[in-house]
Amino acid sequence: MVVLSQPILDSLSHIKTCKPTSNIFTEIPVIDLSAPTAKTLIVEACKEFGFFKVINHNITMEFLSKLETEALTFFNSAQQEKDKSGPPNPFGYGNKKIGPNGDMGWVEYLLFCTNSQLINFPGLSQTLCGLVNEYVSSIRKMTCEVLEMIAEEIQIWPRDALSRMIRDEKSDSCFRLNHYPPCPELQALSGRNLIGFGEHTDPQIMSVLRSNNTSGLQICLKNGTWVSVPSDHTSFFFNVGDSLQVMTNGRFRSVKHRVLAEGLKSRVSMIYFGGPPLSEKMKPYSQVMEEGEENLYKEFTWCEYKKSAYKSRLGDNRLGLFEKSAAQ
């Protein structure tokens, strides 16, 4: 029997657990961006899962390894040194507390605003800041490429109708480095998993995830089943966000996902959240609508949705307040 010390008990006491699942997601759509079928496969994946994996992305493993190493150097430093970059407001360093409404997880993180010319704040090395800036620039470019493929396939014109919102200098995008520390004490939780980052959907247009080779990511399928996503440090995983679900009038699915903590290995993930400018109106594109089809959502600005999401808990159905049926 494992006996936990009081400090460890205190650190785990406010973090939720869940039952383990043996379901491995073996049907992940894999998209080769250089293939002529890429745009068709992306749209099919967005409709069925709201989730897909991208390969042949032209971002080198050498560069990704440098960023990961530099991020771990920060996260492995003394707590008092890391705290110089926090608390998050909302950007900066955070530890276990996720957002302002009581959500907790076995995670520490750095959250950056990406619409400023240079990413930087106190306590970070210039090397890390430089790598983050370079990474965000590359991922933004790839995200825009994917969004333009989507627009072309579902016949939204002009071709940059979606990507221009992320390219806009006022784009409300952000970047997050997450570190899920090892937790050997997990064996004392009676076979339950510790939640690293609770279930949620991403409110933005599209988010792009890359992690090291430690597993933990799970997504929720249409039937409500949670499945584990095998880790792949060489590829990128794309999530449809709430905003893109609205702009396609529900054709694309904003995928609910979560991260479970690993007992013996740390997990490092990096996520780019591609968001529109605050003043952008969120509504379905008329080109995707069939004749006589009604809008499922009330029109709102990204600023209005962001404020509403910021007041909610992670697992809340944030779009529910903006569905037309909610007003009836």
Report, as residue numbers or ranges, the catalytic residues: 267
Contact criterion met (CB below 8 Å) for 107 and 259 = yes
Residues 22, 122: Cα–Cα separation, whole Å:
42
Q: 299, 235, 303: which is closest to 275 by C-alpha?
A: 303
Would you give the DSSP letter of residue 266? -
Name residues whose C-beta falls within 8 Å of residue 288's C-beta, 6 or more positions apart in sequence: 154, 155, 156, 247, 248, 249, 251
CA dihedral 76, 80, 85, 90 (to 10 degrees): 100
Q: 42, 103, 24: which is closest to 237 by C-alpha?
A: 42
Contact criterion met (CB below 8 Å) for 156 and 52 = no
Q: Which amino acid is at 256?
A: K
Q: Exposure string (b/e) for 143-161, b if CB count within 10 Å is 16 or more?
A: bbebbbbbbebbebeeeeb
Spatial strand order of the sheet with 17-18 comes to 17-18, 193-200, 257-260, 217-220, 226-228
Q: 19, 41, 16, 59: which is closest to 208 by C-alpha?
A: 59
Owner of token pair 């980052």: 197
Owner of token pair 């240079």: 118
Run of H or E residues at 268: strand 267-274
Question: What tokens appear for 43 in the block?
Answer: 């749209």
